[in-house]
Amino acid sequence: DTPGPVGPAVVLVGPMGVGKSTVGALLAEWLGRPYRDTDDDIEAAEGRPISDIFVNDGEPYFRAAEKAAVRDALRTHDGVLALGGGAVLDADTRALLAGRPVVLLTMDVDEAVRRTGLNVARPLLAVNPRRTWRELMEARLPLYTEVARAVVTTADRGPEEVARAVLEAL
Ligand code: S3P
């Protein structure tokens, strides 16, 4: 028998705006593997943007959809996978990530605010982005580090350099 699918070659986790999509797409190109993003999967399944889902159905509804999307992607995708910034909030999701090639992309709060502060497509940052960022990072950093095999800081580095660091870290 041939072995079954091995799952994603790389899983990127980390806060929104850190560059998971850009770096992930670049890694996929370099590795000659497909790129997938659970946010895109959720939007495709729901037929509407994530901001709509948050506004009309609330965050718990979104998290349930996200949990299903991550589970499905881990089972079916063998390329590069980027997870939404809050996917690690779910304990079952964290358990599913154990033993996977998970890399945390991270940045400091100043860079986070600079990158995402004015992005209205990100419903969690609509009000007081700096305080929200600090609280988000404090709450989530332990969860990110729990699942990540390696940590890559994006500060002052372009996507190529970050992508190279991800490959070196694995
Ligand atoms: C979220 C991050 C977003 C998206 C949603 C919630 C979060 O994904 O899933 O807006 O809770 O951090 P990205 O990290 O891809 O922006």
What is 100-159 written as a DSSP string?
S-EEEEE--HHHHHHHHTT-TT-GGGSS-HHHHHHHHHHHHHHHHHHH-SEEEE-TT--H
How wide is the angle at C-alpha 11 spanned by C-alphas 7 and 16, nearest 5°?
Answer: 145
Domains defined along the chain, listed by start: 10-169 (3.40.50.300)
Written as one letter, the residue type at 5 is: P
Q: How confident is the model at residue 121 (pLDDT cuts 50, 70, 90)?
A: low
The minimum-distance atom of ligand 1 relative to the CA of 14 is 14
Alpha-carbon gap, residue 169 to 66, rounded angstroms: 27
Which residues contribute to the annotated binding site for substrate?
A: 39, 63, 85, 140
pLDDT in tens, 38-77: 999 999 999 999 999 999 999 999 999 999 999 999 999 9
What is the predicted ipTM? Answer: 0.97
Residue of 12, 13, 16 best suited for mutating to test ligand 1, as the one with most atoms within 8 Å of CB: 16
Q: Which residue would you say has higher pLDDT here, 7 or 48?
A: 48
Alpha-carbon gap, residue 53 to 43, rounded angstroms: 9
